[in-house]
Amino acid sequence: MSERTSPDDITGAVIDSFTRCPDERLQTIMESLASHLHAFVKEVGLTEQEWRTAIDALTATGHITDERRQEWILWSDALGISMLVDALGHQTPVPATESTVLGPFYVPRSPLREYRERLDEIPAGEAAWVFGRVRSLDGAPLEDAELDVWQNGDNELYAVQDPEAPEGHLRGRFRTRADGSYGFVAVRPTPYPIPHDGPVGRMLASTGRHPWRPAHIHVIVRAPGHRSLTTHLFDARSSYIESDAVFAVKPSLLREFVARAAEDPEKPAGIDGVWWSLESDFVLVPSDDPHEPVDPGRTA
């Protein structure tokens, strides 16, 4: 009688199939991926029906993904993989500003806007004056650094999600002045759910998780000779700070939105009624890479 093929025989054959890979790093990744996937299947005793359900979820992910909806990034975010990769790749010294995930709604080449200009092109919530400085690790101000900003409005949507919104709505790029200062008029962000009408949403619902993210503003800061920084400014008083659906909250990124009166003499021009202010400096780490800054939008 011929010898039976065991589950371990199958795993070994798959791992051995990568031994002729010409790229050493790719070989390491694929061998480890196969090893861990096979170990997971064995550990949980994955059934054929569960395997089919997983395949259906992956198929549905491909079908729902398009130029406006990136379900694969949602999977990565909702399983904490995006934050884990970010943490491994961006370990920075104090007092450098910490990074966090890019998210699925970034759009490169936002409109270049002037100091004090508004992000919103149609009404989107209560105005928020966001200001501060961009500095290097040694405290030196960084002139002509770029802040690439995007956020949601009070309808819980980013412009890329909203067919009624102008293309440049709630996003823009700003340059720092000679003293490293920047300033723009945003809107106070609101909590919002990540898209949950697809495979990721079904996973969240079936496991007792919610799809909500706390209120925040996204910023990518780029300056010559420094590592690019992708981060959030979180509203410290927002709901879901302790249970962000994508695990992106870091205590150092919590900020206070300060309520300001309509008659406040420091109110920027063009703001009517009650407004908010948010002060936040960004500290960048110098880089020896002559190709910095790199555009993180290449992954979006």
d(CA 160, CA 97): 27
pLDDT at 270: 81
d(CA 54, CA 57): 5
Tally the residues of the chain.
300
Cα angle 177, 178, 179 (rounded to 5 degrees) comes to: 90
d(CA 61, CA 154): 28
Amino acid at 296: P
pLDDT at 85: 94
Smallest Cα–Cα separation from 236: which of 200, 198, 276, 208? 276
Domain residue limits at 233: 71-299
202 and 258 inside one domain: yes
Cβ contacts of 261 within 8 Å, gap of 6 or more: 274
d(CA 43, CA 37): 10
189 and 259 inside one domain: yes
Angle between helices 48-64 and 71-78 (to 10 degrees): 130
Residue 1 lies in a domain: no
265 and 138 inside one domain: yes
140 and 287 inside one domain: yes
Cα angle 119, 96, 280 (rounded to 5 degrees) comes to: 35
**Count of CB atoms situated within 10 Å of the CB of 162:** 18
| pLDDT values of the chain reduced to their tens digit, one per residue, 300 residues | 568 999 999 999 999 999 999 999 999 999 999 999 999 999 999 999 999 999 999 999 999 998 878 899 999 999 999 999 999 988 899 999 999 999 888 999 999 999 999 999 999 999 999 999 999 999 999 999 999 999 999 999 999 999 999 999 999 999 999 999 999 999 999 999 999 999 999 999 999 999 999 999 999 999 999 999 999 999 999 999 999 999 999 999 999 999 999 888 888 888 888 899 999 999 999 997 655 554 444 333
pLDDT at 2: 63
134 and 185 inside one domain: yes
- Side-chain half-sphere CA neighbours of 72 within 13 A: 9
147 and 268 inside one domain: yes
Cα angle 229, 185, 150 (rounded to 5 degrees) comes to: 40
